Homo-oligomer: A and B are copies of this chain.
Amino acid sequence: MMVDRRERIERLLQAEELRREDLEELQPYDVAVVLPDLEPERQIRLLILLPPDVAAGALEHLDADDQYAFLVERLPVNTTHAVLAAMSTAALVDLLKALHPRQQQAVLRLVPPADVEDVRALMAYPEGSAASRMTTEYLAVRAQWSADQVIRHFRHVGRDVEIAHYVYVVDRAGKLIGVTSLRDVLLAEPEMPVADFMHASVVSVQATADQEEAARILRDYDFGALPVVDAEERLVGVLGVDDVLDVAEEEATEDIQKGASVVPLDTTYSRASVWSLYYRRVGWLAILVLLNLFSSAVIAAYSSTLAAVLSLAFFIPLLIGSGGNAGSQSATLMIRALATQDVRPSQWATAFAKEVAVGALLGLTLGALSALLGVFRGGWGEAGWTLGLVVGITMVAIVVVANLIGMTLPFLLSRFKLDPAVASSPLITTIADATGLLIYFSIAAWLFGIG
């Protein structure tokens, strides 16, 4: 169905003549998807003919460089004026932040002077804060206004607001004192003052709070938008749930990349350059090489044991690999549980007890499996049984220990105010390798009576 839609739009935009009534039905996102495939002249013609709010919405989906080229270099100035006036302040801020200061100036000269101040105020908020994604185009009224007065006000300004279904109530100082919805305003008696039907207990977020906190509040409370207030509880903007959906996806991508010891990309994979991919991956890999020296040292220390029973080497990948796998599992489960606040850092003991039990069950299962493999490889004589015993016991010990290392490290990191996601699968695997080898050779030296 989505494919049909795409094809229909492509046909429409590649038709000989662009008809204004067809264009009015277009969605900004569809335009943004098809635009890059059009011939340069047709791109310009399309953006000129589109309603400015659709053109603005389409440009918002493009790269900052492409937006800049259209707005400053390619479109006629009156189209640019109209498009920039129709663009949301949040989108404008996103664009400006991605541009060189000289390019910023070129864009700002084309923005309606009334908006420039809003834009500058928004740009002052730190990246990643709740305020950095908010819109300043919302509906604010006073508590003593009647429902009918609010509707008349809405008919006057409603076309320009971005968050249209919530109505925020502020006092003389701009302090947020209530919230209601367009629905409740319409359902109220026309002469009833807003104070009588608004919610006076408003859930809001501080402008400087992390955008992830805002996303969490929106999700927990099932709100469609969240007011953003300054330290004096004055309303400074509103964050829509649609903006937060992007935040949620970006945060998940970051968490997933961190889980594989990749420094989160600042763009999508397809746009990232070879050098930036290299740069964001090599650091952790090099650190892990150095950490792996512990594993080398353990093997070197036990080289006489290894020389005496060379078949011990056969099981090195199996044993340390299984420890790494179990540790990755528990670390990943714990990092995600902490990130979604399913488990609090204070609940370490409960999680530890659970993982002792889970680790023991996993260790016994894998231990039995690998003891069999040990006997199988070592032959059915005494040496084979001893090898099976060594491998089996080692597996139990390694899985239990690696599992607990995996679950504990994220808690430790969060305890020291570090990002639990640093306990990535590769880091856990590397730590589990060294620990596993130590366990393996100690048990082997003891059971074979060497060392």
- What CA separation (Å) do A288 and B327 show in the bound complex? 14
Residues of B within 8 Å of A354, CB to CB, are 274, 277
User: Total interface residues on A, using CB and 8 Å?
Assistant: 127
Main secondary structure of the interface of A (DSSP, over half): helix
Q: Does A450 contact B (CB under 8 A)?
A: no
Contact among B221, B246, B292, B366 for A29, CB-based, below 8 A:
B221
Please give the count of copies of this chain that the complex contains: 2
Q: Does A120 contact B (CB under 8 A)?
A: no
Residues of B within 8 Å of A164, CB to CB, are 165, 181-183
User: Is the CB–CB distance between B325 and A288 below 8 Å?
Assistant: yes
Stretch at the interface among A38-46, A94-102, A237-245: A237-245
Contact among B203, B260, B274, B334 for A332, CB-based, below 8 A:
B260
With A158-B186, A248-B252, A326-B281 in contact, do A425 and B296 touch (Cβ < 8 Å)? no
Contact with B along A64-94 (1 / 0, CB 8 A): 0000000000000000000000000000000
Stretch at the interface among A104-112, A168-176, A298-306, A412-420: A298-306
With A322-B289, A332-B257, A332-B260 in contact, do A186 and B155 touch (Cβ < 8 Å)? yes
Q: Does A219 contact B (CB under 8 A)?
A: yes
Q: How many whole Å from A266's CB to the nearest CB in chain B?
A: 14
- What CA separation (Å) do A220 and B5 show in the bound complex? 14
User: Is the CB–CB distance between A299 and B321 below 8 Å?
Assistant: no
- What CA separation (Å) do A434 and B265 show in the bound complex? 30
Contact among B257, B274, B300, B326 for A358, CB-based, below 8 A:
B274
- What CA separation (Å) do A249 and B255 show in the bound complex? 12
Q: Does A262 contact B (CB under 8 A)?
A: yes
Contact with B along A347-372 (1 / 0, CB 8 A): 10001001001100110011001100
Interface centre among A28, A289, A311 (most CB of B within 10 A): A289
- What CA separation (Å) do A277 and B354 show in the bound complex? 9
- What CA separation (Å) do A241 and B434 show in the bound complex? 47
Residues of B within 8 Å of A295, CB to CB, are 317-318, 321
Residues of B within 8 Å of A434, CB to CB, are 317
User: Is the CB–CB distance between B296 and A306 below 8 Å?
Assistant: no
Q: Which 6 A-B pairs have the closest CB atoms?
A: A252-B252, A260-B332, A295-B317, A165-B165, A25-B201, A269-B337
A interface list, Cβ under 8 A from B: 1-2, 5, 25-29, 57, 151, 154-155, 158-159, 161, 164-165, 181-183, 186-187, 199-201, 203-206, 209, 213, 215, 217-224, 240-242, 244-246, 248-249, 252-253, 255-257, 259-262, 265, 268-270, 274, 277-278, 281-282, 284-286, 288-289, 292-293, 295-296, 299-300, 303, 306-307, 310-311, 313-318, 320-322, 324-326, 328-329, 331-337, 340, 342-343, 347, 351, 354, 357-358, 361-362, 365-366, 369-370, 373, 377, 399, 425-426, 429-430, 433-434, 437
User: Is the CB–CB distance between A329 and B362 below 8 Å?
Assistant: no
Contact among B186, B241, B292, B369 for A289, CB-based, below 8 A:
B369
